[in-house]
Amino acid sequence: MITMKAINVEETKVGAVPYKGESFYAKDVSVRWLSKVGQDAQGAPTYGLRLFTVGPNGAIPTHNHAYEQTMYIISGQFECWDADPKTDKILNKKLCGPGDMVYVPGMAPHGMRNVSADDPGQFLCCICTLGT
């Protein structure tokens, strides 16, 4: 068993997010890996738990990845969307706040932004990494 305070986990700025062979940059987003991926002293090979902080008007641009993920909004209001993988047209856009969860299947294009101009928001994100 491993216990820790999330505030003591190193916070890393999120930079480029790859999508369709290009790099798009996250705006004012940081992540703390609460459970690390990999067979090390603090990790598991099949999942990862991350704590994201998104600053006012911050955003994670449309992107996709092979793994599934579930996000749980802790604080703030986020506009979350998914997009058509062929046209990138936004298919669904939802406003999500504390207590809401968002599930994204593998390879589904998606993104989100903090709609507040004044306050940061946070969410937990659990990813399935088996085979990635």
Q: 52, 116 in Cβ contact below 8 A?
A: no
Of 2-11, 41-50, 64-73, 111-120, minimum mean pLDDT range:
41-50
Interatomic CA distance for residues 125 and 119, integer angstroms: 20
Residues 49-71: pLDDT tens digits?
899 999 999 999 999 998 899 99
**The predicted structure's pLDDT at residue 2:** 78
CATH of 29-128, one of 2.60.120.10, 3.40.50.1820, 3.40.50.300, 1.10.260.40: 2.60.120.10
What is the pLDDT at residue 44?
66
Domain ranges of the chain: 29-128
Highest mean pLDDT among 29-38, 43-52, 100-109 belongs to: 100-109
Q: Which amino acid is at 113?
A: R
Structure token digits, residue 60? 């994670």
pLDDT band (50, 70, 90) for residue 131: low
pLDDT in tens, 121-130: 999 999 887 5
User: What's the pLDDT score for residue 72?
Assistant: 98
Bridge partners of residue 44, in order along the sequence: 37
pTM of the model: 0.91
Say if residues 59 and 114 touch (Cβ distance below 8 Å).
yes
Half-sphere exposure of 53 (CA within 13 A, CB side): 15
Query: Where residue 45 falls among pLDDT bands split at 50, 70, 90?
Result: low
Pick 26 or 44 by higher pLDDT.
Answer: 26
CA distance 103 to 23: 23
Residue type, 46: T
Nearest Cα to 112, choosing from 85, 82, 91, 132?
Answer: 82
Q: pLDDT over 70 for what percent of the chain? A: 90
